[in-house]
Amino acid sequence: MKLALAVGAASFLAGFLLYPALTSALARRRAGQTVAVFAPALHRVKAGTPTFGGVLFCAIAVAAWLVVDRSREGFLAVFAILAGGLLGAVDDLTNVRVLGKLGLAGREKLAAQVAIGIMVGVGLALSGFTQQYFPGLGAPDLRAGMIVLAAFAVVATTNAVNLTDGVDGLAASCGIVVLAGTTLIAAMAHDRSAVVISAALVGGLAAFLVFNWFPARIFMGDTGSLALGAALVVVTSELHFLWWLPLLGLVFVVEALSVIVNVTAIRRYGRRILRASPLHHHFEEVGIREQRLVAMFTGVAALATLITVLYAHFSAGRIA
């Protein structure tokens, strides 16, 4: 646990010192966010806020791995961060530079996410992380099926985190809570690489949140959200808890499901179930302020994370 605290504190300090310079540099280069026309009216004032903020907490996590760990297991998480971050950066650059486009086309992004997921799955399978604990079944060896599961998990998780990143401080707050959970589980399992990556991301995200809290001075962009989603898949897989990621990341799951449900209802029945989606936009439309909304969602994330950590604690030693 001392390692986690040291890495987290150092990552927070680095981010806290560097984010003002990054924010100024992005503002000078006019790397501002484009707001979708279907976003709540209150979000129009956010147009032009610097994006690409995720690049720094991703860089901090990679630097922590290079300085403290440098293991093959840690490299899998670093690869996921870099691959997800690179895809997100291309998407953000398209958003900023191409007039009238909010990012890459859906099919292009999906194809890239699947490719990243397959590569992550192959890496996990070759490294021996094919046993994933499932309640009542122990930890069956998925073998090559791990590649399929990881690919699906990467696509689902990166999109879910990305959809959650729509209110100042929301994705960062929930991400900190979830990654704090993986840090605790990794510490209990004595998994050094998972501790280093998780703690570094917690520290970097906490520093980012200082500048992303309402009213945000910088956004993480797809650069950050896609990297976080991919990293979560690798870290939970290395801890043999990939099947538990939907509970651990409950807020992300609900946000994604709210979009699926609302879009399906509109297309099939011509009516909305929610006033807007993802879910946080629905709450904004009914009059809940951003700060209170973030507190509510983070509270739910904390409860789901606590349940997952407690389960991991009481099931310690059962996973091969």
pLDDT in tens, the chain (320 residues): 899 999 999 999 999 999 999 999 998 888 777 766 556 656 666 777 899 999 999 999 999 999 999 999 999 999 999 999 999 999 998 888 765 566 678 899 999 999 999 999 999 999 999 999 887 788 889 999 999 999 999 999 999 999 999 899 999 999 999 999 999 999 999 999 999 999 999 999 999 999 999 999 999 999 999 999 999 999 999 999 999 999 999 999 999 999 999 999 999 888 899 998 899 999 999 999 999 999 999 999 999 999 999 988 887 655 44
Write the burial class of residue 135 (CB in 10 Å: 0-12 exposed, 13-18 middle, 19+ buried). exposed
Task: List the one residue out of 226, 305, 252, 234 whose CA is nearest residue 57.
Answer: 226
CA distance 148 to 74: 21
Task: List the one residue out of 128, 72, 123 whose CA is nearest residue 320.
Answer: 128
- What does residue 51 show for φ and ψ, rounded to 5 degrees? -115, -165
Task: List the one residue out of 129, 85, 86 whose CA is nearest residue 229.
Answer: 85
CA distance 34 to 50: 10
| Token pair for 24 | 């100024």
Write the burial class of residue 311 (CB in 10 Å: 0-12 exposed, 13-18 middle, 19+ buried). middle
CA distance 225 to 237: 19
Max alpha carbon distance in the chain (Å)? 55
Interacting residues of 33 by C-beta distance below 8 A, sequence separation 6+:
46, 47, 48, 49, 50, 51, 95, 96, 219, 221
Based on DSSP, count helices (H) and strands (E) in the chain, helices before strands. 12, 0
Domain boundaries, the chain: 2-314
CA distance 76 to 236: 12
